[in-house]
Chain A
C-alpha cells in the first residue's frame, strides 16, 4: 500500500518529470475516451437492439445459433471422428447424436486442441484459454476462439452495456463518470503451449479491434500498470476517481462494492494525503486536489459513511443481485442509499446465460442469441444419468414452465457442446406466453447440498428457511454461512449477520428456522422426527462479521472471480468468526 513519502529534497526533480509524464498519460487516455465514446455507444446500442430483436423471434434465434455451432464445428477433427458432421444437422438429430457433456468429458479433445490451436474442437482459431477453477483443482481451459469473441462474447457485453446506457446515459457523461471493476487488464504470465491462459475478466491484451474496448480502456485505473493485488488495484481505482463526478460503479460481485467502501475507510488517511499532495500511492500524479482531500476527510469522520457520501454524484451501481448475491442487498442499500441499481448478466467463463434488457433486478431473459439452450427439470438426477451414460430427454426454451427449476445445458460457439453447466435456474415467467422467452434467475449450483442421512439439504432451502425464520423473529439479516457439524447425532450450524445479533434471540431463532427447514425439506423433517438429526443451531453475529471474514479470505489474485458461498461443506468458519 502507499509507500512512505521520500524526503522533499530528493523528490523535487523526479517529481517534476513524473508530473509531466502523468499529465501526458492523463491527456492520452482522455483522448482515447473521447475518440471511442461515440462509437462505443453506437456499438452497444446496436448490440442491445439485435438482442431485443432476437428475443422477439426466439425460435429463429435458437435455430440460427444451432446452425452456427454446427457450421463452425462440423469440419473439426472431433466432429469428423465421431461422425457428428454427418449425423447432426438439426435440433432433433443434434440432441440425439451428441451426448450431454461435463467439462471433464472434453478434457482429451481440449488437450489436443491446445497443440493445434483450432481445427480440433471447432474450426475457429483459439486465441486464448480462459482459466476458471475446475472440479479437480486443475484450472479449466475454456477455448476463447475468434468466432466466439466476434459472434458471442463481445456482443453479449455490448448488449448489456447497451441496457445500462439506455437507462443511465450519464455513465458516459465524462471520462470520470464510470468506475468499471467488471473487467481488468493484467499482464498474463500463464500460457498453454504458447497461448495465454487467463481469467475471462482479464481483457488484456486486446486481440483485435472488435475485442472489448470501452472508452476507459486506457484509463490509469484500468490499465495493466495498476497493481494486481486486490487492495492495490482497488486503491488505485478509488484514488483516481475521488474528487470526480462519479456516477456509476460497475461490478460483478456485490462483495467488490462492499469492499470498495471498506477500503476507503481502511486507507482513508493515505487517500487524503494522496489527494492533498497530487500523488497516487505516494508517486506524483496530476495536481493536488485540496477540496477533494477535505471532502474525503470530512466523510471519514462520519461513522458508517456510504459511497454516496464519498461521491454525492453517484446515480447507479450494478452487480449480481440474485441467488446468494441477493443476501448482500441490505449491505448494498446501506452503501448506496438512494442509488439506482442494475443487474449484471448471468454468466460464467463457459458462456452467457442471461443478459439484462431492463432494470428488473432479479430476473433476466434467457440470452437467446448466445447459445443453444436445453433444460432438464431440477428434480431429475442429471449427474447420475450422465455418469451412467444414459440418454436424457431435454426440453427446449419454449418447453419450460414458469415456477419450476431446471438444470441448464448449453452449446456454445466455442465448441463446448451440450455442456451441463451444473447451474440450476428458476423460470420466473414466460415473456408473451407460450413460445416466448423464459425470464430466469440463477438459483444454485447442482450438487451443492449436504446430507448426513439422506436429507440432501440445498443452499436454496437453507436460505429460504433462514430468511423465513429471521423475518418471523422481526430481525434483519445480511450474509449467512451454514455448514454440517458431526456428532451423535449430527446437526447443522448457521451464522447469520444481523443488526439485532444477541445470544438471547439465538435459541428462539434456531427453533423457527428448524421448523421452516422441516416444512421446506420433508426428508429433513423425517430425519429430525426420528432423532437422526439434531435441530439446526443458529447463531446471530454482528452485521459485518461474515463479510469481514469473507473479505479476509479473498484470494490475493483473481479477485474478480471470487464468489461468496453461503453453504459450506464444513464448519471451520465458525471458529474463525465467533471463536470456539
Chain B
C-alpha cells in the first residue's frame, strides 16, 4: 500500500458540474496519479472548495482523491447566496454528488466522508437520511458543533425558529481571527468575495431540520470507523457539547482526537499536515483487503 520513497506526484485539479434541478453544482476534485482512497469534504457555512488549495494537493499526493462540493449557493455553484433551500434538497444534492464520486472512484476504493464545522451537521444528517445509499468506509467530524441549535436554544425558541420564513439576513458573526492566527489566511478569509457570512432567517430553520435527522435518528449507522477531530479548544465550538452529541450519535464507538491548536480552522494552522496525514491514513486503512 505504501511507497516509502518517491518524488512529488503530478496530481490534478478538476472541476465537474453535478446538474441538479436547474442548478449546476461544482464538484472539485484533486485527483492523485494512483488513486487508492477518497475523501469527500463537506465545507462549512462560510468556506468553499477554493479554501482547500493547499490541502487538496497534499491529499492527492497521499494517493487520496479529495472531493469538495461547492454547496448550492456557495463557491462557484449556482444557487441563491445566503439562502439555504430545504433540508431534502440539500441532502439530495450531496447524495447526487456522492453518487458521482462513487462512479469516479469505483466500488472498491475506500471513501471517507469528512465534515468541517457546519459541514459536519450536513454530513451527520446525510448519514442518517433513510434514503442515502452511497456506501462509505469511514467518517470524520472536524471542529463541528453537532446539534448546536438544539443545545443552545430552548424548545420554544426552536419552535419559533422552525416557523420563521423570513428572508432578512442573520449574521453568523464569524471572525477570521477565530479561524486562524496566521495573517495570510486571515487576510484571505476577510477578503474572499465567495465566502458566505450570513444566512436568511429561514435558512436557520433548515439547519434545525437537519439536526433533527441525526438527533432523532431513523436508521442505524453502518459499522465503519468514525472519529471526531478538533483543536485542544475551539473559539467557535463548545467541544464538550459537540463530543457528547458525537458519542451519543455513534453509540460510544467513535474516536475523539485533539490536535495541539486553539484555532477553529485546522487546515489554516500548524496542525494542517498532521490532520492531512492522519485523515489520509484513516481513509486508506479501511480499504485494506484482508482476504488478499
Could you tell me which A residues sit within 8 Å of B by CB distance? 72, 75-77, 112, 115-120, 123-127, 146-147, 150-151, 191, 193-195, 208-210
Please report the C-alpha to C-alpha distance between residue A92 and residue B274 in the assembled complex, in whole angstroms.
48
A124-B13, A147-B12 known, 16 other contacts, Cβ within 8 Å: A72-B12, A75-B14, A76-B14, A116-B13, A116-B50, A118-B30, A118-B56, A119-B15, A126-B53, A146-B8, A193-B50, A193-B191, A194-B53, A209-B7, A210-B7, A210-B8
Tell whether, in the assembled complex, residue A208 and residue B8 are in contact, meaning their CB atoms are under 8 Å apart. yes
Any A CB within 8 A of the CB of B192: yes
Given A116-B76, A191-B187; A123-B12 close (CB under 8 Å): yes
Distance in Å: Cβ of A166 to nearest Cβ of chain B: 24
Give the shortest distance, in Å, between B12 (CB) and chain A (any CB): 5
Residues of chain A lying within 8 A (CB to CB) of residue B188: 191, 193-194
User: Is there a chain A Cβ closer than 8 Å to B185's Cβ?
Assistant: yes
Give the residue name and chain of the B residue nearest to A118 (CB): B13
Q: Are B11 and A117 in contact (CB under 8 A)?
A: no
Per-residue A-contact encoding for B188-206, CB less than 8 Å = 1, 0 else:
1001101000000000000
Residues on B with beta carbons closer than 8 Å to the beta carbon of A119 = 13-15, 28
Bound CA span A115–B76, Å: 9
Q: Are A209 and B8 in contact (CB under 8 A)?
A: yes
Contact partner of A118 among B53, B185, B192, B194, CB < 8 A?
A: B53
Instruction: Evaluate contact between B50 and A147: CB separation under 8 angstroms.
Output: no
Chain A residues with CB under 8 A of B290: none
In the complex formed, the residue of B with least CB distance to A120 is B15
Q: Do A125 and B7 touch across chains, with their CB atoms under 8 A apart?
A: no
**Residues B11 and A146 in contact, CB atoms below 8 Å apart:** yes
Q: Is B49 an interface residue (CB 8 A)?
A: yes
Q: Which residues of A contact B7 (CB under 8 A)?
A: 209-210
From 117 to 139 in chain B, residues with beta carbon under 8 angstroms from any chain A beta carbon are none
B251 at the interface (CB under 8 A from A): no
Q: Which of B42-89 contact A (CB under 8 A)?
A: 49-51, 53, 56-57, 76
B194 contact set on A, CB distance < 8 A = 115
Q: How far is the CA of A117 from the CA of B52 in the complex (A)?
A: 9
Asked if residues A194 and B184 are in contact (CB atoms below 8 Å), the reply is yes
Chain B, Cβ-Cβ closest to A122:
B13
Give 1 or 0 for each of B12-50: 1 = CB within 8 Å of chain A CB: 111100000000000010110000000000000000011
Select B10's contact among A120, A146, A191, A194, beta carbons within 8 Å.
Answer: A146
Q: Which residue of B lies closest to A147 (CB)?
A: B10
- Please name 27 pairs of A and B residues whose Cβ atoms are closer than 8 Å in the assembled complex, sorted by A: A72-B12, A76-B14, A76-B15, A77-B15, A115-B76, A116-B49, A117-B50, A117-B53, A118-B13, A119-B14, A119-B28, A123-B12, A123-B13, A124-B12, A124-B13, A125-B30, A125-B57, A127-B57, A146-B10, A151-B10, A191-B187, A193-B191, A194-B184, A194-B188, A194-B192, A208-B8, A210-B7
Closest to B27 in A: A119
Inter-chain contacts of B12 with A (CB < 8 A) = 72, 118, 123-125, 147
Complex Cα distance, B188 from A150, in Å, reads: 27
Q: Give chain B residues whose Cβ lies under 8 Å from the Cβ of A191.
A: 184, 187-188
Which of chain B's residues has its CB closest to A75's CB?
Answer: B14
The distance from the CB of A65 to the nearest CB of chain B, in whole angstroms, is 15
- 3 shortest A-B CB distances, which residue pairs? A118-B13, A194-B188, A119-B15
If over half of B's interface residues share one DSSP class (helix, strand or loop), that class is named, otherwise mixed; here it is mixed
Across-interface contacts of B57 in A (CB, < 8 A): 125, 127, 146
B191 closest partner in A (C-beta): A193
CA A518 – CA B49 in complex, angstroms?
Answer: 61
Of chain A, the residue at the smallest CB distance from B13 is A118
Could you tell me if A125 and B13 are in contact, using CB atoms closer than 8 angstroms? yes
User: Shortest beta-carbon distance, A228 to chain B, in Å?
Assistant: 18
**A124 contacts across to B, CB distance below 8 A:** 10, 12-13
- B residues within 8 A CB of A146? 8, 10-11, 57
B267 to chain A, nearest CB (A): 11
Max chain A C-beta neighbours (<10 A), residue from B28, B30, B57, B187: B57
Neighbouring B residues of A123 by C-beta, 8 Å = 12-14, 31
A194 and B15 within 8 A (CB): no
Chain A hits for B50, CB < 8 A: 115-117, 193
Contact partners of A117 in chain B: CB under 8 A: 13, 50, 53
Chain A residue contacts of B30, Cβ below 8 A: 118, 125
Bound complex: CA A150 to CA B7 (Å): 10
Q: Quote the shortest CB–CB distance from B23 to chain A (angstroms).
A: 16
> How far, in Å, is A37 (CB) from chain B's closest CB?
19
Q: How far is the CA of A124 from the CA of B60 in the complex (A)?
A: 11
Chain A contacts of B191 at CB under 8 A?
Answer: 193
From B31, B49, B53, A195 is in contact (CB under 8 Å) with B53
Task: Report Cα–Cα, A76/B26, bound state, in Å.
Answer: 12
Q: Is the CB of A125 within 8 A of B56?
A: yes
* Contact assessment for B185 and A194 in the assembled complex, using a CB-CB cutoff below 8 Å: yes
Q: Chain B residues with Cβ under 8 A from A115's Cβ?
A: 50, 76, 194
Q: Which residues of B contact A126 (CB under 8 A)?
A: 13, 53
Digit string of B163-197 for contact with A (CB within 8 Å is 1, else 0)?
00000000000000000000011011001101000
User: What are the residues of chain A within 8 A of B185 when measuring CB–CB?
Assistant: 194
In the complex, residue of chain B having the shortest beta-carbon distance to the beta carbon of A194: B188
Residues of B within 8 A of A112 (CB): 76
Instruction: List, in ascending order, chain B residues with CB within 8 A of A147's CB.
Output: 10, 12
Taken together as a complex, chains A and B put the C-alpha atoms of A120 and B57 apart, in Å, by: 16
Bound-state Cα–Cα, A118 to B76, Å: 13
Q: Please, how many angstroms separate the alpha-carbon atoms of A206 and B188 in the complex?
A: 21
CB distance from B80 to the nearest CB of A (A): 19
B156 CB → nearest A CB, Å: 42
Q: Name A211's closest neighbour in chain B (CB-CB).
A: B8
Q: How far apart are the CA atoms of A124 and B185 in the complex, in Å?
A: 22
Chain B residues within an 8 Å CB radius of A209: 7-8
Q: Report how far A76 CA is from B31 CA in the complex, Å.
A: 13
Task: Give the CA-CA distance A191 to B8 in the complex, in Å.
Answer: 24
Question: Least Cβ distance of B60 to chain A in Å?
Answer: 8
* Distance in angstroms between the alpha carbons of A434 and B99 in the assembled complex: 55
The smallest C-beta distance from A141 to any residue of chain B, in angstroms, reads 14
Q: Identify which of B7, B8, B13 gathers the most chain A CB atoms within 10 Å of its CB.
A: B13
Question: In the assembled complex, how far is the CB of residue A64 from the closest CB belonging to chain B, in whole angstroms?
Answer: 15
**Residue from the list A116, A120, A125 in contact with B11, Cβ < 8 A:** A125
C-alpha gap A116/B10 in the complex (Å): 18
Query: Measured between C-beta atoms, what is the minimum distance from B61 to chain A in Å?
Result: 8
**What A residues does B49 contact at CB under 8 A?**
116
How many Å lie between the Cα of A117 and that of B66 in the bound state? 14
